[in-house]
Amino acid sequence: MWQWMKNVWFLSRKELRSLLGDYTLMVLIVVVLSVAVYTVSTGITTEVRHSSIAILDADHSQLSYQIRDALQQPYFKTPVLEQRENIDQQMNQGGYVFVIDIPANFEKDVVAGRAPEIQVLADATSVTQAGIGLVYLQQIISQQVSQFLKQPSSESLLPVKPVLNVMYNPNGESHWYLSVVQIIANITLLAMVLVGAAIIREREHGTIEHLLVMPVSASEIAMAKILTNGLVITVAALLSLWLVVNHWLQVPINGSVTLFTLGTVIYLFSVSALGIWLATLAPTMPQFGLLCLPVYVVTRLLSGSESPLESMPEVMQWLTQISPVTQYVQFGQFVLFRNAGIDSVWDKLLIMMLMGIVFLALALGRFRHMLARQG
């Protein structure tokens, strides 16, 4: 055992020097965990922000002006008074996300209690903006009509007064969640690609023969690559969490960074072992890339980071629980945002560790076969 650890130590030093000496890979790691995390977190939003809106005002009354003035930034751009004959062309060209059509005599009909209708058009190709924006517009119009008629709001008429407390993300800022998810996605791709590419690169360059004449085993070679790449990616991920997420994006980290580091190490062990296994299945670098891509995309889409697990079929919900990506996404949310302790996430750590052992066993079986064939 001592000799095994000693061999892993020396091989890890060799791998670390090789990785740190590859400036292209180091720049890739820095960019992926800094610029990519920031741009994705700020460029993608699940909220209504600066939506273009037009108004067809055939009434020109105090109430119609009141509704128009209530459409304010940052949710909506300044409303544009548009002509009816231009609406179809503008909607077809994507000029407006929303169009509010206020009919003539709207205010008079409201005062007379005739319940007039306001037509709201929404461009549903902007799925998030249209869905949430329609709810906003409905609330805004209802509130303005109630204020104009000096009527109490519908909430005040309820026999029960709901008290809403939004936990873990009080303002519903999407970049809080997206920044952490992007770090998880990027370290998944880096761990899978870097470790697997190191195996294939040595095989293509012929340096694998140097290892064959050394008194080292397949497990020592594989573990050295996992430890080296895992160490570099863990340090880079923690720096990204501290500098980019916490300081640059101003996302508060409420949980234990130490526990998150432990989970990251276990997760990288699992994903790196998966990368080695995929590398032993692919004879060339292009084929390895084609093999990694669907594995990465499918595991990410089914991890619950892109859409809730509860929205998936029950069979898929059960199957995704054995994926280390799914467990790590939930682990990161629980620890960083909900300040969960190890008593709440130990099962996720256990699943990630068990899947890592399974992937490593599969990888070592294929790796020994590859070394024997190479020899």
For residue 375, what pLDDT is reported? 55
Per-residue tokens: 339 = 């300040």
* Nearest residue to 357 (alpha-carbon basis) of 194, 226, 238: 226
Q: Which of 24-28, 73-77, 184-188 has the highest mean pLDDT?
A: 184-188
The domain spans of the chain are 9-44+172-374, 53-157
pLDDT at position 332 over 90? yes
* Nearest residue to 1 (alpha-carbon basis) of 269, 225, 217, 266: 217
Q: What mean pLDDT do residues 200-207 have?
A: 72
Q: Give yes or no for a contact between 66 and 141, defined as CB atoms under 8 angstroms apart.
A: no
Q: What mean pLDDT do residues 51-76 have?
A: 90
Per-residue tokens: 334 = 């629980």
> In the structure, how many helices (H) and strands (E) does the chain have?
15, 4
Secondary structure (3-state) at 98: strand
For residue 95, what pLDDT is reported? 87
CA distance 276 to 194: 9
Identify the residue with better confidence: 201 or 266.
266
**Residue 158: which pLDDT band, with cuts at 50, 70 and 90?**
low
CATH class of segment(s) 53-157: alpha beta
Each residue's pLDDT tens digit, 105-157: 999 988 888 888 899 999 888 777 888 888 899 989 988 888 888 876 666 66
Strands (E), 118-217: 119-122
Each residue's pLDDT tens digit, 270-307: 999 999 899 888 888 888 889 999 999 999 988 888 88
